[in-house]
Amino acid sequence: MSKRDSPARLMAKDLIAGCFGGIGIVAVGHPFDTIKVRLQTQSATNPLYTGMTDCIKKTVKWEGLGGFYKGFMSPLWGNMIFNAVQFIVYGQAKEAIGHGEILSLPNTFLAGAITGVAVTFVETPMDLFKSQLQVQIIRAKDNPEYKAQFTSVSGAIKQIIKTNGIFGCWQGFCTTLIRDTIGVSLYFGFYEIYRRALLKKDQPLTDMEKQGTFTKFMAGGVAGVAYWGCIYPLDIVKSSLQVEPIVKSERQYKGFMSCAKAIYKKGGVKAFFPGFAPCIIRAFIGNAACFVCYEQSKAIMNKLF
């Protein structure tokens, strides 16, 4: 933190830069996320798609290119808020742990874990609204008589709150908490590992500030792959819980263990990795864009004020 940056100024910069990071990740990554959710949540016994390529073809055929941006507004606004919160909390966690000094790698992972706990409260409802909208096309194809419950994000929010109260927006919270605590720790940890690995033996860590856009792009991509590559099975369980009917009596699973056991029973270990390829592609490209947007916008703000 520079001499000019008070805690309030640092938070303001992280907020604005985090919003730009959120825009970057959704603009680039949402189509891959749509494919991922559809592959994750389709029926195991009667799958609608045979793989990523088949899902892309059928989405274009049935819905046009706009089908890849189903539920786009929820993650757009959600990711702006989510990334703002994420980078603010991470920045404050670094300050609290390191007192203004560059953190050691273990402490970087710790700051990431603290951040993961905090962002769960924002990410759970964001993912719920998005998943409920995206999965409707699968239900419609499985059952010709199925009628979509929601036509918009606002409609989904209203119906969920009407049915389960405000806390219904946190369906799947515990699984998301486990996922994010582990995942965000890896996310920021591997971002730092990649950038530090490019420094020469005698270079100070402060020289990371001089690294170019391509390095930040690659580091962001590595961070995204580290996150999703390690927590993907947890995300399968989370997605399965979040696309359950909003009416509790109609749900198939009682909770995390019930859902995980059912998934394993249907397809073994392989059942925890459907949609893995589009997810990893999205993870690299989307998070590379996120970190570039974040770092560049923050650098501009540092020059301006």
Q: Which residue has the tokens 């059942």?
A: 271
Q: Measured between alpha carbons, how far is 112 from 90 in angstroms, rounded to an integer? A: 6
Q: Are residues 109 and 185 in contact, defined by beta-carbon separation less than 8 angstroms?
A: yes
Q: 1 in a domain, yes or no?
A: no
Q: 218 in a domain, yes or no?
A: yes
Q: Are residues 67 and 133 in contact, defined by beta-carbon separation less than 8 angstroms?
A: no
> Who's near 35: CB < 8 A, 6+ residues apart?
52, 55, 56, 59, 68, 275, 278
Q: Which residue has the tokens 């749509």?
A: 34
Mean pLDDT of all residues in 245-258: 92
Task: For 149-204, write each residue's pLDDT tens digit.
Answer: 887 888 889 999 999 999 999 999 999 999 999 999 999 999 999 999 999 888 99
C-alpha neighbours within 13 Å on the C-beta side of residue 119: 31
Q: Measured between alpha carbons, how far is 151 from 132 in angstroms, rounded to an integer? A: 10
Task: For 51-78, write each residue's pLDDT tens digit.
Answer: 889 999 999 998 998 888 877 787 788 7
Task: For 106-146, write each residue's pLDDT tens digit.
Answer: 999 999 999 999 999 988 998 898 888 878 877 777 777 77
User: 257 falls in which pLDDT band (50, 70, 90)?
Assistant: very high
Q: What is the mean pLDDT of the chain?
A: 90
Give residue 2's pLDDT. Answer: 46
Number of domains in the chain: 1
- What is the four-CA torsion angle of 183, 189, 191, 195, rounded to 10 degrees? -170
Q: Which two tokens stand for residue 301?
A: 């703000």
Q: Residue 221: is it exposed, middle or buried by C-beta count within 10 angstroms (0-12/13-18/19+)?
A: buried
Q: Measured between alpha carbons, how far is 108 from 223 in angstroms, rounded to an integer? A: 13
Q: 265 in a domain, yes or no?
A: yes
Q: 214 pLDDT exceeds 60? A: yes
Q: 201 in a domain, yes or no?
A: yes
Which ranges of the chain would DSSP assign to H, the alpha helix? 7-41, 52-63, 73-98, 105-134, 136-142, 153-164, 173-197, 213-242, 256-267, 276-304
Task: For 227-237, write each residue's pLDDT tens digit.
Answer: 999 999 999 99
88 C-beta neighbours (distance < 10 Å), count: 21
Q: 299 in a domain, yes or no?
A: yes
Q: How far is CA 28 from CA 32, 222, 281, in A?
A: 8, 16, 11
Q: 2 in a domain, yes or no?
A: no
Domain extent, residue 42, equals: 7-304
Q: Which residue has the tokens 């920021």?
A: 188
User: 1 falls in which pLDDT band (50, 70, 90)?
Assistant: very low
Q: Measured between alpha carbons, how far is 274 from 11 in angstroms, rounded to an integer? A: 38
Q: 250 in a domain, yes or no?
A: yes
CATH number for 20? 1.50.40.10
